[in-house]
Amino acid sequence: MRVLVLTDGPGDGKALLPALEFLDHSLAFAALSPESLRSQGPADLVLVDATGDLGRASVTCRANASSDLPRPCLVVIGDGALAALKASWGYDDWVLPHAQPAELETRIRLVAERSGAHRPGRAASIGELNIDEDTYVVRLRGVPLDLTFREFELLKYLAGNPGRVFTRDHLLQEVWGYDYYGGTRTVDVHIRRLRAKLGAEYEALIGTVRGVGYKLDPLGPGRPLDAGE
């Protein structure tokens, strides 16, 4: 198996994860960045160093997950930073730097097997709204909507939890990432843009709970928006 190790740490990947020394895999090393995913050759698995710069690790994982051909991703992270891991990173599994060879080999094998298994297309349907995660296409009554990447991610997140109310801070963290330093106002801006693209008949799919945040309301069409929105 060819493993691409992305790290900015000293030495190579074997310094990051000593157990690699004892495994029979072909290793390639590159800097921790989304650009390395594009510049390196084929790989069966990407190993991302999150023991240092969590922001770069998060961005790199997300870039891999959103690429045309995402590779299985294993994150190396220290005990003290585990709380920073979010499912929105798009990684498949994580491992501690001091993992023993048997544990590391097992995690690599399981991640590769899960990736190779057939997975049905990931899609969510809310009434006449269909969100396809595999193609990044949203259709309303069968007509594709012209959404930006962030608009798609925001709508997908809301649609994954229909009826649940999320604060602006929560949406900012889960959709933009904890490493995003902009204010929560950007959430409001993207909500307005989404509503505009849904059109007057369907804009109420995204409801506002005054003083709390936003939700995707399957019964939204036909209901007036809260005052001030």
| CATH code of the domain containing 39 | 3.40.50.2300
Q: How far apart are CA 72 and CA 77, in angstroms?
A: 16
The answer to whether position 143 is within a domain reads yes
**51 confidence band (pLDDT: 50, 70, 90):** very high
Query: Residue 160 is part of a domain; what is its CATH number?
Result: 1.10.10.10
Q: Do residues 164 and 193 both lie within one domain?
A: yes
Between 224 and 155, whose confidence is greater? 155
Distance CA 26, CA 74 (A): 16
Over 90: is that where the pLDDT of 42 sits?
A: no
pTM of the predicted model, to two decimals? 0.53
Domain boundary (57, 85, 116) is at 116
What pLDDT is recorded for position 229? 43
pLDDT for 58 beyond 80? yes
Structural domain boundaries, residue 24? 2-116
What total of structural domains would you count in the chain?
A: 2
Q: Is the pLDDT of residue 170 over 70?
A: yes
pLDDT at position 12, please?
62
Calpha distance 216→164 (Å, rounded): 7
**Is residue 14 pLDDT above 90, yes or no?**
no
Listed in order, strand segments (DSSP E) in the chain are: 2-6, 26-30, 45-49, 73-76, 93-95, 123-126, 129-132, 137-140, 143-144, 166-167, 206-209, 213-216
Q: Give the pLDDT mean for 197-210.
A: 91
Quote the mean pLDDT of the chain.
Answer: 84
> Is residue 37 classed as helix, strand or coil in its secondary structure?
helix
% of the chain surpassing 90 pLDDT: 39
Question: Looking at the structure, do residues 171 and 92 belong to the same domain, yes or no?
Answer: no
Q: Quick one: average pLDDT of 173-195?
A: 83
